Amino acid sequence: MGNMLVVGAREGSLGAYVADVARERGWTVVTAGVSGEEHLRLDVANHRQVYELFELSTPWHSVVCTAGVNHEGSIQDQAMRGKLDQSFLINATGPLHLLHVWAEWWLYHLDEGFMVTNENDGTQIPAFPLHYVAISSNSAHIARSKSLAYCASKAALSMGIRCAARDLAGTWLNVYGYEPGWLSGTPMSKEVNKRFEYGMPRHRIPGDRTVDPAALAHMIVRNVANWYSSLNGCMLRLDGGEQ
């Protein structure tokens, strides 16, 4: 199935589930991040580290970027500037820069032995599907009073992915993402959960239909198997109808 890079695969996270499911389905998977990931240390906000990652001999056919931070804070917070800066670097600028470097690599190298003949019609297609998948959040659309930095940076990521996908629509590269609601049992959800007083609702999803990270991981891995996907430019919102 090709080589997959999962950025942000802390134990118990959505990225860790994606890596496990992809391996089960035959992908060669490398994980990278700053939380004890199995293979590579990568700070997605560090431009030098991102460029160095693509100097490796392995071409990453698909990249799934789940990196993100969720800082508590309001516009009244004295430390808001720092939280905004870090949130945008990790949640938006970093993943978009990673996309830039990945796309640049493939647009330069795609004709260098990475194409094969389609048995159905004789046309040339990539030997493996080429997908960049960004994990945003439904908080890109839902205002949360104590999550200004998170909501704003995820909104920036979602729009950035949509713009990039339009720009790359004439290529073999597929660029899209997911905007899940409350992910049950992940490290980020557990950390955010500590902010709430006893009895306070953690989300606004009707019927408590929260997102199962394992189920979402299966969806992500299944979708990256397509060579030319109409998912390009889409941000798939999966949140049980939260408003």
pLDDT of residue 189: 61
**pTM of the predicted structure, to 2 decimals:** 0.91
Mean pLDDT throughout 54-60?
A: 82
Mean pLDDT, rounded, for 35-48: 90
- Which one is predicted more confidently, 161 or 72? 161
Mean pLDDT of the chain: 88
With CA atoms as reference, report the closest residue to 63 among 89, 86, 40: 40
The amino acid occupying position 124 is: Q
Q: Crossing angle, helix 148-167 and helix 80-88, to 10 degrees?
A: 30
3-state secondary structure the chain: CCEEEEECCCCCCHHHHHHHHHHHCCCEEEEEECCCCCCEECCCCCHHHHHHHCCCCCCCCEEEECCCCCCCECCCCCCHHHHHHHHHHHHHHHHHHHHHHHHHHHHHHCCCCCEEECCCCCCEEECCCCEEEEECCHHHCCCCCCEHHHHHHHHHHHHHHHHHHHHCCCCCCEEEEEEECCECCCHHHHHHHCCCCCCCCCCCCHHHCCECHHHHHHHHHHHCCCCCCCCCCCEEEECCCCC
pLDDT at 181: 85
Radius of gyration for the chain, computed over Cα atoms and rounded to the nearest angstrom: 18
> What does the pLDDT read at residue 203?
59
Residue 130: what residue type? L
The predicted-structure confidence for 130-176, as pLDDT tens digits, reads as follows 999 999 999 999 988 788 999 999 999 999 999 999 999 999 999 99
pLDDT of residue 70: 86
Q: What percent of the chain has pLDDT over 70?
A: 89
The predicted model gives 118-136 an average pLDDT of: 92
Q: Indicate whether 85 pLDDT > 70.
A: yes
- Per-residue model confidence as pLDDT tens digits over 181-211: 878 766 666 565 556 555 555 556 665 667 8
Residue 197 vs residues 76, 139, 192, 194, 200: alpha-carbon distances, Å: 20, 21, 11, 8, 6
Please tell me which residue, 124 or 239, carries the higher pLDDT value.
124
- Is pLDDT of 123 > 60? yes
Most confident range, picked from 72-86, 119-133, 154-168: 154-168
> Which residue segments constitute the domains of the chain, with CATH numbers given?
3-238 (3.40.50.720)
